[in-house]
């Protein structure tokens, strides 16, 4: 049971204001994405017709769920039938869009494109960039630094890996100051509490962590594949290798979602990439998977258009049994705190009080939702930038609920 009462819910974020960020996602990003998908894979006439149809009638018309797909019933989204996409909760509208896109390309089959990830060309290209190579080169010098420094750098690498256009920061900063460049961009920074939870030490407040010595499990709820998943895996490897956790469970999407969200195939690609690059971490991660110290979970709720407050009992039990759950990325943050226009100073610990165990959010800010700011931070951000800091992806946060 939560020990802190949940705050009065704020309005759910929708896309109906043409001047809003969510509106631009539906009206501009989604059509652009359909075109990119169409160009990236030589789909046949049937899939191209379906993509064109989605482009024509997609978000500009009303929601028309297919009769033969029970995803719409499972998550109770068929109730939106006949409504404008813009009138739906933003989270639901985006989730429904990705379901429709996968259907259009024949992902759910039957047929030759069953199981073919329409986003795979983009995900693979990301691993094959000079920036990605430089990040791995930076691992050598990092491994010579004291372990606490390594952990701090890997944690912030995982955080900034969520920034779409940046990748992680190991190559741009010395290991010793790896967090300095990014810390000025952190709008909330619970790094010290999180390091305590990760290492099983007492919290800075003096309170013992929920985890006791021995037999510790970490859940990491992954976000994007490619250059975000690599630093996530490096962090997991460090935590397992140095005995901070005995097991790690990596939560992945059961199928492609929100363009680059990581699936099992993407994870295997990432581990393969690390092995091929002859990193020790790659070999260790490969072994950890085969020995079951690193396990993969693909719960259907991971692609549900719902906040984590509505998670099913079996997923709740998974998180409850972990000593710490780390939620990566913007979408997971929206689902963790609820995709609502909270007053920015609403305490993070209050909106996550329902969560069954210690949870940390690592996120760059790419959508309107925010909690846990101090009044001073909020007013400094607004004075400097108006509201653009919410969605520009240049700011980040680390927040913890014990």
Ligand X SMILES: O=P(O)(O)OC[C@H]1O[C@](O)(CO)[C@@H](O)[C@@H]1O
My answer on whether omega of the bond before 356 falls inside 30° of 0, hence cis, is: no
Q: Give the shortest CB-162-to-ligand X separation in angstroms.
A: 5
Tokens 């969510």 found at: 22
Distances (CA, A) of 229 to 3, 54, 108, 322, 365: 33, 30, 25, 20, 18
Which stretch in 45-53, 230-238, 299-307, 324-332 sits in contact with ligand X by CB under 6 A? Answer: 324-332
Q: Residue 75 CB: number of other CB atoms within 10 A?
A: 19
Cβ closest to ligand X, residue 95 vs residue 279: 95
Residues 247-276 as x/- pattern, contact with ligand X by CB under 6 A: -----------x------------------
Q: Give the shortest CB-305-to-ligand X separation in angstroms.
A: 12
Cβ closest to ligand X, residue 25 vs residue 136: 25
Q: Is 315 helix (H, G, I), strand (E, B) or coil?
A: helix
Candidates 269, 330, 350, 368; binder of ligand X (CB under 6 A) is 330
Contact 358, 323 (CB under 8 A): yes
Residues 27-66 that bind ligand X (CB under 6 A): 29
Distance, CA of 150 to CA of 156 (rounded, Å)? 10
Cβ closest to ligand X, residue 224 vs residue 346: 224
Nearest to 239 by CA among 328, 137, 335, 326: 326
What is the token pair recorded at 270?
């990432």
Distance, CA of 383 to CA of 327 (rounded, Å)? 29
Cβ closest to ligand X, residue 43 vs residue 160: 160
Cβ closest to ligand X, residue 139 vs residue 326: 326
Distance, CA of 187 to CA of 392 (rounded, Å)? 13
Q: Give the shortest CB-328-to-ligand X separation in angstroms.
A: 8
Q: Give the shortest CB-363-to-ligand X separation in angstroms.
A: 7
Cβ closest to ligand X, residue 23 vs residue 145: 23
373 counts as binding ligand X under rule CB under 6 A: no
Candidates 104, 331, 337, 402; binder of ligand X (CB under 6 A) is 331
Which stretch in 67-75, 114-122, 272-280, 327-335 sits in contact with ligand X by CB under 6 A? Answer: 327-335
Total binding residues toward ligand X, as defined by CB under 6 A: 13
In this structure, is the dihedral angle defined by the CA atoms of residues 353, 354, 358 and 363, taken in order, positive or negative? negative
Contact 37, 119 (CB under 8 A): yes
Candidates 38, 253, 366, 395; binder of ligand X (CB under 6 A) is 366
Residues 160-179 that bind ligand X (CB under 6 A): 162
Cβ closest to ligand X, residue 27 vs residue 309: 27
Contact 375, 345 (CB under 8 A): yes
Residues 202-231 as x/- pattern, contact with ligand X by CB under 6 A: ---------------------xx-------
Q: Name the burial class of residue 265, with classes exposed (0-12), middle (13-18) and buried (19+) by CB atoms within 10 angstroms of its CB.
A: middle
Candidates 120, 216, 334, 340; binder of ligand X (CB under 6 A) is 334
The DSSP string of 111-124 is STTTT--TTHHHHH
Cβ closest to ligand X, residue 91 vs residue 288: 91
Distance, CA of 397 to CA of 50 (rounded, Å)? 39
94 counts as binding ligand X under rule CB under 6 A: yes
Tokens 């094959």 found at: 128
- Residues at the contact surface with ligand X, assessed by CB under 6 A: 25, 29, 94, 162, 223-224, 258, 329-331, 334, 366-367
């Amino acid at each position: 049971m939560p020990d802190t009462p949940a705050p009065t819910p704020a309005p759910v974020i929708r896309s109906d204001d043409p001047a809003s960020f969510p509106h631009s996602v539906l009206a501009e990003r989604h059509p652009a994405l359909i075109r990119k998908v169409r160009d990236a894979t030589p789909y046949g006439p049937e899939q191209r017709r379906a993509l064109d149809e989605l482009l024509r009638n997609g978000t500009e018309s009303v929601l028309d769920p297919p009769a033969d797909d029970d995803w719409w019933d499972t998550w109770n989204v068929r109730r939106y039938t006949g409504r404008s996409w813009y009138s739906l909760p933003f989270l639901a509208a985006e989730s429904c869009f990705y379901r429709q896109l996968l259907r259009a390309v024949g992902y759910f089959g039957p047929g030759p494109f069953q199981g073919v990830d329409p986003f795979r060309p983009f995900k693979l290209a990301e691993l094959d960039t000079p920036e990605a190579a430089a990040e791995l080169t930076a691992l050598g010098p990092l491994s010579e630094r004291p372990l606490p420094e390594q952990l701090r750098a890997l944690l912030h690498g995982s955080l900034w890996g969520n920034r779409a256009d940046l990748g992680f920061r190991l190559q741009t900063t010395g290991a010793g100051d790896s967090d300095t460049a990014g810390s000025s961009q952190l709008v909330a920074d619970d790094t010290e509490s999180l390091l305590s939870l990760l290492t099983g030490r007492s919290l800075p407040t003096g309170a013992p962590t929920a985890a006791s010595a021995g037999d510790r499990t970490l859940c990491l709820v992954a976000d994007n594949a490619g250059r975000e998943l690599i630093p996530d895996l490096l962090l997991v490897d460090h935590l397992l290798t140095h005995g901070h956790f005995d097991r790690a469970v990596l939560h992945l999407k059961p199928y492609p979602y929100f363009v680059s969200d990581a699936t099992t195939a993407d994870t295997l690609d990432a581990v393969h990439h690390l092995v091929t690059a002859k990193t020790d971490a790659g070999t260790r991660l490969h072994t950890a998977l085969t020995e079951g110290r690193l396990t993969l979970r693909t719960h259907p709720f991971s692609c549900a258009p719902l906040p984590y407050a509505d998670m099913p009992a079996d997923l709740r039990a998974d998180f409850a049994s972990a000593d710490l759950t780390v939620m990566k990325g913007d979408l997971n943050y929206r689902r963790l705190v609820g995709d609502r226009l909270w007053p920015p100073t609403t305490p993070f610990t209050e909106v996550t009080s329902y969560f069954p165990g210690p949870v940390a959010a690592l996120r760059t800010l790419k959508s309107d939702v925010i909690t846990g700011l101090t009044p001073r931070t909020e007013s400094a951000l607004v004075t400097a930038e108006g509201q653009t800091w919410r969605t520009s992806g240049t700011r980040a946060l680390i927040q913890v609920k014990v």
